[in-house]
Structure 1
Amino acid sequence: MIEVKDILKRYITGDIDFTALKSVSLEIKKGEFTAIMGPSGSGKSTFMNILGCLDRMDGGTYFLNDQDVSNLNDNQLALIRNKEIGFVFQSFNLLPRISVLQNVELPMLYAGVSPKERKLRALSALEKVGLSERVKHRPNEISGGQKQRVAIARAMVNNPAVIMADEPTGNLDTNSSIEIMKIFQKLNAQGATIVMVTHEDDIAKCAKRIIRFLDGKIVDDYVVSERTIL
């Protein structure tokens, strides 16, 4: 599903030359639930941005769902993001002036899906995350945990190859965090491939695999032996 080899990422600003990723290589198979961890400045967020085709690498190769995305132009990367990747962000990234249903429909709008099909698929996705009763509400009328469930519904509505979650519980209380991780575990059990950045050990243990970054390199990569099943 994901194969990266010798990924290099440098940031050059004035006299500062900082290498954020140093020859990073790994594979993530279809159906895996992987947590990426590491302290601030370790390279984990930069790596996630490259996996999500939000940032470009300065060296190496990246295959996503058997397609080489290493040297695609901006328009091609935008198509890959819409077709192959579902994003879940810490800050939810919902549009405040439209309804929950319309927020979930957005990726399909960009993909050219018909209005009837958009509505059917959005309603189905919202049902899967337990928000069938909130479809007409706007984001400011629902809780933080519900907003994140809307974001998950939006992420999965185009049947992406992989769901990428960046600190998905970072703005949530404990109970809401548990509910979100239950949804991720359920989606993974149904076959979804999930890559999640988190700084919380208990959240990471809900995944099946943990990859730790330090100073731009992978320093640990292991299967979770005492996995938390919610």
Structure 2
Amino acid sequence: MIDIQKVNKIYRNGRLELQALFDIDFKVEKEEFVSIMGASGSGKSTFLQILGCLDHATSGTYILDGINVSEAKDKDFSRIRNQKIGFVFQSFNLLPKLTITENVELPMMYAGIKPRERRERAVDALIRVGLGNRIKHTPNEISGGQRQRVAIARALVNNPAIILADEPTGNLDSKSSVEIMNIFQGLNNEGVTIVMVTHEPDIAEFTKRRVVFRDGIIIDDAPIQNRRGIS
């Protein structure tokens, strides 16, 4: 699903250079659930930007679901993101004046899907995350945990190759965090591939594999031995 080889990222400002990533090798197979961890400045956020086609690597190769992203032009990035990647952010990024169904429909509007099919797929996605009884509510009428469920539904509707989640429980209380991670586990069990950045070790324990960054390199990459949420 993801094959990254010898990826480097260098930020340049005049003659000044700052290297954020050093020769990163990283693979994700279909149906994996991977957490990425590391302290502030470790390179994990830069890496997520590259994974999400929000930024280019300076050098190296990035293959996403058969597409050579490292050879793609800027104008191709939005198409790749819309077709291949579903995003879930810490801050939800929902439009408050739209219903949650309309929020979930947005990626399909950009994909040119007809209104009737958009509505059907949006409602199906909301049912999938346990919000089938809230489809006419706005984001301000539901809790933070429910807003994150809406964001997950929105990430699912275009059937992406992978979901990228950036601190998806960062704004939630402990109970809501566990509920969201159980949803991610359920989706992964259905075959959805997920890569998640988190700074919380207990949240990483819901995933199948943990990758740790430090100073722009991967210092650890290992399966989770005692996963949470697994009966």
Q: TM-score range by the shorter chain?
A: over 0.9
Deviations 1:197-227 (A, max 9, x none): 0000000010000000000000000011111
Alignment of 1:79-228 (within 5 A): 79-228=79-228
Question: Which blocks of at least 5 consecutive residues in structure 1 are unaligned?
Answer: none
Deviations 1:138-167 (A, max 9, x none): 111211111100000000111100000000
Q: CA deviation at 1:133?
A: 1.6
Partner in structure 1 of residue 20 of structure 2:
20
Does 2:29 match 1:29?
yes
Question: How far apart are the structure 1 equivalents of 2:216 and 2:159?
Answer: 31
Q: Give me the TM-score of the superposition, normalised by structure 2.
A: 0.97
Q: Give me the TM-score of the superposition, normalised by structure 1.
A: 0.98
The one-letter code of the counterpart of 1:95 is L
Question: Which blocks of at least 5 consecutive residues in structure 2 are unaligned?
Answer: none
Cα RMSD after superposing both structures: 0.9
Any runs of at least 4 consecutive aligned residues in structure 1 with deviations exceeding 6 A, and if so which?
none
Q: CA deviation at 1:74?
A: 2.1
The one-letter code of the counterpart of 1:175 is K
Question: How far apart are the structure 2 equivalents of 1:195 and 1:167?
Answer: 11
Q: CA deviation at 1:15?
A: 5.5
Aligned partner of residue 8 in structure 1, secondary structure: strand
Question: How far apart are the structure 1 equivalents of 2:104 and 2:219?
Answer: 37
Count of residue pairs the alignment pairs up: 230
Alignment of 1:44-55 (within 5 A): 44-55=44-55
The one-letter code of the counterpart of 1:174 is S
Aligned partner of residue 71 in structure 2, secondary structure: coil
The one-letter code of the counterpart of 1:148 is Q
Question: How far apart are the structure 2 equivalents of 1:174 and 1:71?
Answer: 42
Q: CA deviation at 1:14?
A: 4.7
